[in-house]
A and B are shown apart, each in its own frame.
Chain A
Amino acid sequence: MPTIQEKKGAPKPRGQNPAVRHDKVLMQPGEYEVTKSSTFTLRLPLRKNEDNWWVVVSEDEAETVEEVVFRMWAYDEMVELRKLATKYDTVRRVHMIDHDVLNRLKMQRYMLSWTFEKANQRFELHHVGGVLSDETWDKVMRLQTNLLRHIIEQMNERYEFGG
């Protein structure tokens, strides 16, 4: 009876790596876990007055309603972003979070889309590696300051649970 000899030098079949937990790897994200669909939408009711757009309280008074979509951040992502925005004050010996930097990082990473580009194509959002491109960020910064401030305040109500 012919027998098949083991080929010398052939790579041995890899055994199961105990470090890889297939039950965890294959398990789909459940409730409470951040996925691509974990988004929230901010609505900005706007009214034009003397060439400037103003945010109004009620949508009934608005000429148009713009929307901005963000993705929720996961806990691990939050820690990493906060680290990037934290500086140590050597004189007062305290850690200071630079909230301007943190807000910029949040917008660059989690702002998925908005409707401002319908009225002005310059406001089209482009992402590179999941982050807003530098050119897009420059254009975002050209949005009226009062609108940007409103977006940041609304955004932080969700990210920082009420600020």
Chain B
Amino acid sequence: MAVEEVARREAELMENPGEVPVRVRVRREGTLCLPHPDGEDEEKAVFGVMTFGDHLLIEQACRHETEREDGRSQFEVDFNEVRRLTLKRSLLSWSLNVPVERQNGWLTPESYQRVGTVFSPLIEAFLDGFWEKSDVSKKEQEQIDRQAAVLFGKSSRGVADACEAVRLYCSMGSQWDKFGIKEDELKNMPYRKYVMLRMMVNHENESTRRQMSQKQAPVTKIAGRGGRTRPSRGQRIPM
């Protein structure tokens, strides 16, 4: 891919931060149009950013109670339906000549009747591309785990070449005093950023718990005679 093309795409993302464009290479076979990595044509779909609120809404809608073989009940999330609702919730427009009509933040039923008849592999490719940009990949998860271990380590001096999650956590922590985020703001937060922050908070909590369990000396120290330091014993209050 040419450098200019990459720059143009990045600029497109910056200009429309609420949109997630997904491009798929396609190959035509008779009347069919199927995704193919070496396809001669390209089709584009534009999705709205999946917010934490959207994700919560979709997950709750697709959650249902079922009975297990032993008679106990359990909750399941129908992931096939999650993907379909994601399409209905987030698809804004595309280059296909099948009309996309939205009302109150969803595809209209009439519009979905048409959208649902489109070649399945093509829509699946669009949805895969969308989820790749909306969720945290396994590779990114591993990178977060590695860098969080360094960041919250005993003798940490920060992380070199910080990943997106570490940068997000540090900037959000200083700017918003870490958790002074209101509920409405949280629901409008892109789902990807929410997942990253949640992972970082978990790492921090785990690190704190580990330090507490090891009964380590407090980080602050009091200087005694001769400038020697000793751990703070705290102030004893007589009962």
Contact = CB atoms under 8 A, between A and B. Distances in A.
Contacts of A88: 66, 76
A38 B32 contact: yes
Contacts of B123: 75
A82 B81 CA distance: 10
A161 B35 contact: yes
Interface residues of A, number: 32
A94 to B, nearest CB: 10
Interface stretch (B8-16, B108-116, B143-151, B220-228): B108-116
B136 interface: no
B213 interface: no
Interface residues of B, number: 38
Contacts of B124: 75, 78, 160-161
Contacts of A30: 97-98
B214 to A, nearest CB: 32
A123 interface: no
Contacts of B81: 79, 83
A158 B118 CA distance: 14
A90 to B, nearest CB: 6
Given A83-B80, A90-B74, A73 B31 contact: no
B38 to A, nearest CB: 11
A74 B113 contact: no
B110 A32 contact: no
Contact of B120 (A24, A31, A73): A73
A38 B32 CA distance: 6
Contacts of A83: 78, 80-81
Contacts of A100: none
B68 interface: yes
Nearest to A73: B120
B196 to A, nearest CB: 23
A79 B80 contact: yes
A159 B98 contact: no
Nearest to A29: B117
B162 interface: no
Interface string A13-28: 0000000010010000
Interface of A: 21, 24, 29-35, 37-40, 72-79, 82-83, 86, 88, 90, 95, 158-162
30 contacts: A21-B110, A24-B110, A29-B117, A30-B98, A32-B118, A34-B117, A34-B119, A35-B31, A38-B31, A38-B32, A40-B30, A73-B119, A74-B117, A74-B118, A74-B120, A75-B116, A75-B118, A75-B120, A75-B124, A76-B84, A78-B124, A79-B80, A79-B84, A86-B80, A90-B69, A95-B76, A160-B121, A161-B35, A161-B124, A162-B35
Given A34-B119, A160-B124, A161-B36, 5 more contacts: A31-B96, A32-B122, A33-B119, A37-B31, A79-B83
